[in-house]
C-alpha cells in the first residue's frame, strides 16, 4: 500500500524502480492527532508508511488512514518493546523510524535512497534540527542530535525501556541531511518531559548503586550548565540557549534530589 497520495516528486529524489530496496517509514503513535497528517505527508517518498499505534483515544488512526498510511496497533509496554514489535510486524527491506513530531525533507529523502541502494552499512544515524519553543536550536546539545533510525530489516533490535538503544548487526554510518523535529512546543511541555526523564535517570543511578553525596547537589548541576552552555555551545543561541542550559542545570539537581529520595525510601 502506498503511504499517501504524493505531491509532485522533487527532482532531488531518485525515483525507485522495482529493483530498488523497499523502504518503509514507521511512525510510533499515541494520541498524535495534532501531528500525524503533517508527518505522513512529509514521508511521501517512502514506499510505505506504517503507523504503529498504541490504541490512541483521539483521531490519530482515522487521520492516518485518510492519508493512506497502513495501521498496526499494539499495547505499549515500553519504547524498546514497541519498536521491536513494529519490526516484527513488518516485512520490508529497510525501516526508517520517525516520530510523529518529526518531518522528513527532500534532501534527506534523496540521501536515504542513495544510501540504502549503494552503501554497505546496516544502520544509519540521522541528524536533527530541533525546534524548541518554535525556535531552531543549534547549541546546548540539540544539534546535530544524531538519532539511529534507518536500518536494514532484520539487522537491529532495541534494548532498554526508555531512551532505548538500537543494537545493529553490522556497520553504522552517518547521514548529512536533517530530520526536522518540532521538540517541546512550550515551556510547560519542556518541564513535564524533563521531570519524567529526571525520575527515570535517578532510578537508573539507584539500580547502579550510585549514592548521592552532598557535593553532587552543587557540582553536578554546575557541570551540567558548563557542558550545555560552554562545551556544547548554548551561548550561540543567545538568551534562548542560556535559558535551556539553566533549565538543564536545574533538572540535574532534581535528578540527584530524586536519587536521594529513592535511597531513603528503600
List, for residues 5-32, the tens digit of each pLDDT value: 333 344 455 555 557 899 999 999 999 9
Residues 119 and 221 in one domain: no
Residues 33 and 156 in one domain: yes
Residues 197 and 139 in one domain: no
3 in a structural domain: no
Residues 172 and 193 in one domain: no
Q: What is the pLDDT of residues 56-67, one digit of tens each?
A: 999 999 999 999
Q: How many CB atoms lie within 10 A of CB 157?
A: 16
4 in a structural domain: no
More confident residue, 165 or 14: 165
If one counts the domains in the chain, the total is 2
Residues 250 and 136 in one domain: no
6 in a structural domain: no
* Residue 48, all three cell numbers: 510505505
Residues 162 and 178 in one domain: yes
Q: What number is the average pLDDT over the span 97-123?
A: 97
β 128-132/179-183 pair status: parallel
Taking the C-alpha atoms of residue 14 and residue 191, their distance in angstroms, rounded to an integer, is: 42
Residues 88 and 48 in one domain: yes
Taking the C-alpha atoms of residue 21 and residue 117, their distance in angstroms, rounded to an integer, is: 7
Q: What is the pLDDT of residue 12?
A: 54
CATH number at residue 79: 3.90.550.10
Which of 148, 183, 218 is a domain's end point? 183
Q: What is the pLDDT of residue 4?
A: 34
Q: What is the pLDDT of residues 122-153, one digit of tens each?
A: 999 999 999 999 999 999 999 999 999 999 99
Residues 61 and 192 in one domain: no
Q: What is the pTM of this model?
A: 0.86
- Cα Rg, the chain, nearest whole Å: 20
Taking the C-alpha atoms of residue 71 and residue 27, their distance in angstroms, rounded to an integer, is: 10
Residues 35 and 92 in one domain: yes
Residues 159 and 33 in one domain: yes
3-state class (DSSP) for residue 214: coil
* Residue 173, all three cell numbers: 554510518
Residues 148 and 34 in one domain: yes
- Domain membership of residue 257 as a residue range: 187-265
12 in a structural domain: no
Taking the C-alpha atoms of residue 249 and residue 218, their distance in angstroms, rounded to an integer, is: 10
Residues 225 and 144 in one domain: no
Amino acid at each position: 500500500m502506498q503511504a499517501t497520495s504524493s505531491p509532485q516528486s522533487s527532482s532531488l529524489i531518485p525515483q525507485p524502480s522495482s529493483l530498488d530496496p523497499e523502504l518503509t517509514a514507521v511512525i510510533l503513535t499515541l494520541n498524535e492527532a495534532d501531528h500525524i497528517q503533517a508527518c505522513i505527508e512529509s514521508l511521501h517518498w517512502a514506499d510505505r508508511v506504517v503507523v504503529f499505534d498504541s490504541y490512541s483515544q483521539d483521531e490519530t488512526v482515522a487521520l492516518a488512514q485518510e492519508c493512506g498510511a497502513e495501521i498496526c496497533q499494539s499495547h505499549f509496554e515500553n519504547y524498546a518493546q514497541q519498536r521491536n514489535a513494529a519490526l516484527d510486524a513488518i516485512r520490508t527491506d529497510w525501516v526508517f523510524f520517525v516520530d510523529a513530531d518529526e518531518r522528513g525533507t527532500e534532501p534527506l529523502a534523496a540521501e536515504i535512497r542513495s544510501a540504502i541502494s549503494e552503501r554497505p552499512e546496516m544502520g544509519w544515524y540521522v541528524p536533527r534540527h530541533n525546534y524548541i519553543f518554535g525556535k531552531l536550536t543549534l547549541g546546548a546539545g540539540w544539534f546535530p542530535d544524531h538519532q539511529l533510525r534507518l536500518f536494514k530489516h532484520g539487522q537491529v533490535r532495541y534494548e532498554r525501556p526508555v531512551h532505548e538503544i538500537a543494537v545493529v548487526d553490522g556497520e553504522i554510518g552517518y547521514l548529512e541531511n536533517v530530520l526536522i523535529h518540532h521538540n517541546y512546543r512550550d515551556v510547560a511541555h519542556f518541564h513535564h518531559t524533563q521531570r519524567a526523564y529526571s525520575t527515570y535517570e535517578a532510578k537508573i543511578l539507584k539500580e547502579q548503586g550510585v549514592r548521592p553525596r552532598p557535593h553532587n547537589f552543587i557540582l553536578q548541576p554546575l557541570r551540567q550548565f558548563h557542558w550545555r552552555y560552554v562545551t556544547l555551545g548554548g551561548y550561540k543561541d543567545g538568551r534562548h540557549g542560556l535559558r535551556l542550559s539553566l533549565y538543564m542545570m536545574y533538572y540535574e539537581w532534581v535528578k540527584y534530589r530524586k536519587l536521594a529520595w529513592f535511597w531513603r525510601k528503600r
